Amino acid sequence: MTWRVEFTPRAEKDIERLSTKDQRRILEFLTQRVSAHPNPRALAKRLTGTKEEAWRFRVGDYRIITQFQDSRLVVLVVEVGNRREVYR
């Protein structure tokens, strides 16, 4: 069972703003670790508060905010940013 990773337009813009090195690091994490894992929630942490349906992955100083669509086996990347800025 392989999960597919999809991006919102905002997440695509967030990734484009990063350095090439950070882009590669985040995309490799999503393709090699998250999509290949049988239960990607085991790698994530659930967010509480206003983003209670959101989950986050940590890649260095960056946070990847996602939502899981279980019926389609999709990890939807909603936002990507530095840990100091992404939760604001």
* pLDDT for res 41: 94
* pLDDT for res 72: 94
Domain 4-82 belongs in CATH node 3.30.2310.20:
yes
* pLDDT for res 51: 59
Assess whether pLDDT exceeds 80 at residue 50.
Answer: no
Domain boundaries, the chain: 4-82
* Nearest by Cα to 62 from 31, 2, 21, 6: 21
Q: State in Å, rounded, how far the first CA of the chain is from the last one.
A: 34
Q: What is the pTM of this model?
A: 0.92
The pLDDT tens digits for 7-37 are 999 999 999 999 999 999 999 999 999 999 9
Please give the average per-residue pLDDT across 51-71, as a whole number: 92
